[in-house]
Chains A and B, each alone.
Chain A
Amino acid sequence: MKNENLYKYILGVADNSLILGQRIGELCGHGPSLETDIACTNVSLDLFGQVRSYFQYAAEIAGEGKTEDDIAFLRREREYKNVLLVEQPNTNFAYTIVRQFLFDVYHLLFLQELQNSTDETLVAIAKKSIKEVSYHERFSTDWVKRLGDGSEVSRQKIQEAINNLWTYTDELFHQTDADKAMVAAGIGVDVTLLKEKYYETVNTGLEIATIATPESKWFQKGGKVGVHTEHLGFMLSDMQYMQRTYPNMEW
């Protein structure tokens, strides 16, 4: 494939939104209240909209009649390159919100930088997505604050969620070979440069929420090279059921 690195790069970016969109979409009809249920579903739909733009572009690069649906639904687990953070389950609402917060802060910083890419399509996607993601960040940060600085129980749950998800944050700033090639070409975002600002923003949010920042220096990794936690396989079996059971089916 011509432009194979660009193809891989786009998938790496888009898979985060795809898997997180699926995760948060699981709350549709199951949210803790009608209002938060719809809010989470809105976030999910925003992310899927972004994914479609990325995958349509990737399908164009891949050629050979590939479609956005092929990319979304017909890859094997190892071929998904999302970070481990976004595939973690909705253990309870605190986990859902903390996972969202830890990703949103990164996502916004990432899209701000992606606007400076030399690739016009990626710039256009970034510009469109940035308003949506600004709202996501506001929503999740606000909820971290409310739960952290809320009741004894909500505070304990949010602290537990941050303690357990913290280990997945460092991977956001890892680079694959394709990422490095795209940074060198002026197309990709150098995520290593976002790290400092990321932890600064996250720490400020946690401080306002009166939540302690975990001190652990040991981090999980693997998602970006296709080595996932056990949770992704279950998600994919849900997502891919129709295409696997009825190959080439159309709505």
Chain B
Amino acid sequence: MKNNWPLWEVFIRSKNGLEHKHCGSLHASDAEMALENARDVYTRRMEGVSIWVVESKDITASNPDNNGELFEPAQDKVYRHPTFYILPDELKHM
């Protein structure tokens, strides 16, 4: 049975104001079942307040062979980090 079900990726938002984070994958026959399964598999210990599911085949992923051209040019450009500014203490989640 499980072999016939497509794979879904699950994203959970742990509390309001934060972003959804990828937390794993599961099998389900459609989106509704994927949501219910995600609830049962990934939010049993109060991990979340919101769930997104997306079918794995709909995700376009970068090719690891291209990592050099994609990511290496960023390595020597520290000035792109906002670390040269002083942030007020009240500013959270940066």
Contact = CB atoms under 8 A, between A and B. Distances in A.
Interface stretch (B14-22, B36-44, B62-70, B85-93): B36-44
B2 interface: yes
A75 to B, nearest CB: 31
Interface string A8-52: 000000000000000000000000111110110010000000000
A195 interface: no
A33 B27 contact: yes
B26 interface: yes
A146 interface: yes
A139 interface: yes
Contacts of B32: 142
A146 B28 CA distance: 12
A161 B91 CA distance: 58
Contacts of B59: none
Contact of B41 (A32, A35, A138, A139): A35
User: Helix, strand, loop or mixed for chain A's interface?
Assistant: helix
Query: For chain B, which range describes its interface: under 10, 10 to 19, 20 to 34, or 35 or more residues?
Result: 10 to 19
Contact of B40 (A32, A39, A146): A39
A39 B44 contact: no
Interface in B35-73: 36-37, 40-41, 44
Contacts of B40: 35, 38-39, 42
Contacts of B29: 146
B78 interface: no
Contact of B27 (A35, A39, A139, A146): A35
Contacts of A138: 36
Interface in A125-162: 138-139, 142, 146
B44 A142 contact: no
A59 B29 CA distance: 45
Nearest to B3: A33
Contact of B2 (A34, A38, A42, A146): A34
Interface in B5-25: 5
Nearest to A35: B37
A142 B29 CA distance: 12
26 contacts: A32-B1, A33-B1, A33-B2, A33-B5, A33-B27, A34-B2, A34-B26, A34-B27, A34-B41, A35-B26, A35-B27, A35-B37, A35-B40, A35-B41, A36-B37, A38-B41, A39-B36, A39-B37, A42-B40, A42-B44, A138-B36, A139-B36, A142-B32, A142-B33, A142-B36, A146-B33
Given A32-B2, A142-B36, 14 more contacts: A33-B1, A34-B41, A35-B26, A35-B27, A35-B28, A35-B37, A35-B40, A35-B41, A38-B40, A38-B41, A39-B36, A42-B40, A139-B36, A142-B33
